[in-house]
Amino acid sequence: MATKVVVPEMGESIVEATVGTWLKREGDAVAAGEGIVELETEKVNLVVYAERAGVLAHIEHQAGSDVKVGDVLAAIEEAPEPAAPSPRPTEERQPRPAGGPEVREAPRPAQRPEAAAPTDELPRATPVARRVAQEQGIDLAQVPPSAPGGRATKQDVQVYLEQQKGAVSRPAPQPAVIRPREPSAAGVAQPVPAAGRGEERVRMSRRRQTIARRLVEAQHTAAMLTTFNEVDMSAVAELRKRRKESFVERYGVNLGLMSFFVKATIGALRAFPQLNAEIQGDEIILKHYYDIGIAVGAAEGLVVPVLRDADRMSFAQIEQAIKEFVRKSEDGSLTLEDLRGGTFTITNGGVFGSLLSTPILNPPQVGILGLHKIQERPVVLEGAIVVRAMMYVALSYDHRIVDGREAVQFLVRLKELIEDPETLLLEA
């Protein structure tokens, strides 16, 4: 009897997915609990596992197909019983020796049927690594893995690709043939389009489609506005310099900037709770907990994992959690629970060199803080021009429930806490 493999419930209002990579092919043997197919959702990639052992008999939806919860993806049939050994030919009688009894050949023990040759398994790799390898036409079996358990990562595939590019010998350039160009009617030579120009049509991933839709919805449904300020990062830089080595020795993680801004953001949210809220119909839902989303740029697109009850976390716990989020985003192992909810978001474009930007809200949240590149600039301090490490910060907010006064004061409070980081301990 065949067992249907269906699209499972995915939670958090996710009802659709796109078939990503089939980890097994039709006719392959599968074990109970073994991954069969990877689905792309608007938030994370999910692997669907076999509920029972058998043979993958038929695939209903190929890679790239859109499916909904409950749709049948494939069918698993029972593995065929091993063929019974053929009956042994009738025993031949041996010649009877003169004057002695008849001698028969000793019965041979029944031979066990040979075990079926194991099916070829796909190389172990992270979902992102498989996708990159498929796009580049790379055999994952040739990629040396670096992750625990012998899994190849996206970085492994990229390193292998660069090595292969360097190993390919380039053909010697052919001498260019220069021909006189015919003058145009106006007497001026016109540029000739370069030969071999091409275009490529690439299907948007489920996550990229969702990002596009949500960003447009944010602009259409919220009265979004952005206000700016600048923060002197000198005190934080000095504190990090003094505590860097001892922090790593004690907690095994670097003391980064994000933990300071998470703590300062919570302090500012306590002072201006309208920014830690959402709108439902004609009501404002003020939230008295602080689940801070941290925007992470992943290969598949932007994701926002959430620090739950961030006000109860230490600096070390925040840094450790963010480091783990980055690792998960790179190998495609983020879960729905990592991304669920969030009351306010912080995004750091400064890691990519951004000097100034206007971040877009992450609905239904009504506030998002944008951090930028730290840059030494001349500033006036107590009547003297000095060089200080400065950062522009931006707050985008929903003007429907947050007035400009609260938005400006939020950034002023944030600035005060960052420029005097000892007060963060008092706020905690």
What are the residue numbers of the active site? Answer: 399, 403
Per DSSP, 341 falls in state -
CA 410 to each of CA 276, 297, 346, 358, 370: distance values in angstroms, whole numbers, following the listed order:
11, 26, 14, 16, 13
CB of 414 closer than 8 Å to CB of 268: yes
Pick from 351, 331, 352, 333: nearest CA to 156:
331
Pick from 410, 364, 369: nearest CA to 392:
369
| Paired tokens of 71 | 């749709």
Q: What is the b/e burial string over 271-289, where b = at least 16 CB atoms within 10 angstroms of the residue's CB?
A: ebebbbbbbeeeeeeeeee
Q: Which residue has the tokens 């998960």?
A: 328
* Bridge partners (DSSP) listed for residue 68: 16
Pick from 276, 261, 273: nearest CA to 365:
276
The alpha carbon of 112 is separated from its chain's Cα centroid by a whole number of angstroms, namely 48
Would you tell me how many other CB atoms lie within 10 Å of the CB of residue 383? 5
**Euclidean distance between CA atoms 301 and 304, whole angstroms:** 10
| Paired tokens of 306 | 């959430």
| Paired tokens of 132 | 């990159």
SS3 content of the chain, % helix, strand, coil (to 5): 30, 25, 45
CB of 254 closer than 8 Å to CB of 339: no
| Paired tokens of 188 | 């001026």
SS3 141: helix
